[in-house]
A = this chain, B = another copy of it.
Amino acid sequence: MDATIITIGDEILIGQITDTNSAFIAKTLNNIGVRIKEIRSISDNKNRIINTLNDVLKPGGLVLMTGGLGPTSDDITKKVLAEYTGAQRMVLHEEQLTVIEYIALKRKIPMSALNRAQAEVPDTCEVLLNCLGTAPGMWFAHNGAVLVSLPGVPFEMQALMQEKVMPGLQQRFQLRPIYHRTLMTFGLPESMLAECIAPWENALPPYLKLAYLPNPLTGVKLRLSAYDTTQGNVAEEVERQVWRLRQVIGDALYGEESDTLEQVVGRLLLEKGATVAVAESCTGGAIASLITSVPGSSAYFKGAVVAYDNAVKTGLLGVADNTLQTHGAVSLPVVEQMAVGVRRALNADYAIATSGIAGPGGGTPEKPVGTVCFAVASPSGVHAERLSFAADRARNIARASANALNLLRMNMLKNN
């Protein structure tokens, strides 16, 4: 089955918001073998919605729309779909009304006519009850195709996809899965990785396709895809190929699919029964924030000291005044003392520290913007190094945080 995603909203076309819904829908549908042919973003405009539907809604196909279902007057999708599918009238959906009343009560908002109208739907659709918001999803069977309209609020759309749309599709259609396997690498730039693994890539069976997805924060992802899963035992063959790849690139391969460095680091700490603490200067809390984004991180994360002010470096972390004066805050001796200091102050087994120049200001010829010093303190000592990123503030912070986590990961693997 082929599908098209349509996202509706002027805010996407003027670049005010980034469309994250399409990626979620694409990924979810892909998992059940529905292949996305195209994603289109169009405006809240009647003619454009109708022209696009005429263009992409084909017998046997699926069209998934998001957005344009809000209570305010600029949202016209529901009205347009009523007309497009030849609805005779709008009907009130009692269950959705109950949800709307409950939400109003919980948020202490009086019920309004606008809110009430959210529960009315065209008589041509089947309602996908939205328990998390006021706009119901709508499922239309139209001209031999399936047309689904979902609210644009990401978590409402996500819940409806998982609880209503996916089961609905699986129940009504014979779907054949596409096999994807994604491998996460860190530390090798794309072209170097490409050359390094060329012999392996060239020996892949013809039904396996390799794609590179470089990302300076998460490293280069490698994706193996088999669209025709009738050939051989795909899962077994992929397993063998992953094993071979691991022989070539070793610990640069840090995980699979949705693994993140912070999750992998967390798993290593749990395996060791060890704890970690963080001392951050230039990363300003970003490393702690990554570590604590993982559910259950309280089992191994003691805490962090964000030491922006030098007085915090000396006061809470015990960095020596004369080390700061001799070497400057962005230096290997200072990050070493920060790592050792936070490890002791927070009574942790491991510690990471960063100090650098995130920019845009503060650079010097010897220490230009993007210079970051890192240290990892562990039961077996302290290791420090310096890297240069030379990007803007946000990317310098993000890359420094990713590299700090990778440094801790490599340190734990080495001392295993």
Q: Which of A15, A41, A189 has the most CB of B within 10 A?
A: A15
Distance in angstroms from A7 CB to nearest chain B CB is 8
Known: A210-B74, A221-B16. A301 touches B308 (CB 8 A): yes
Tell whether, in the assembled complex, residue B14 and residue A26 are in contact, meaning their CB atoms are under 8 Å apart. yes
Q: Contacts of A37 on B, CB cut-off 8 Å?
A: 13, 42-43, 48
Counting chain B CB atoms within 10 Å of each CB, the highest count among A10, A16, A24, A27 belongs to A16
User: How many copies make up the complex?
Assistant: 2
Question: Does A296 sit at the interface, judged by CB under 8 A?
Answer: yes
Residue count of chain A within 8 Å CB distance of chain B: 104
Q: Does A155 contact B (CB under 8 A)?
A: yes
Does A311 have its Cβ within 8 Å of any Cβ on chain B?
A: yes
Contact (Cβ within 8 A) A292 B308: yes
A15 lies within 8 A of B11 (CB): no
Chain B residues, Cβ within 8 Å of A72: 190, 194, 211-212
Contact residues of A: prevailing secondary structure: mixed
Q: Is A361 an interface residue (CB 8 A)?
A: yes
Which of chain B's residues has its CB closest to A309's CB?
B302
Does the CB pair B312–A212 fall under 8 Å? no
Report the minimal beta-carbon distance from A82 to chain B, rounded to whole angstroms: 22
Interface centre among A22, A104, A114, A287 (most CB of B within 10 A): A22
Sampled A-B contacts (12; CB under 8 Å): A13-B38, A14-B180, A18-B19, A18-B23, A19-B23, A22-B41, A283-B292, A285-B304, A285-B306, A302-B312, A303-B305, A303-B307
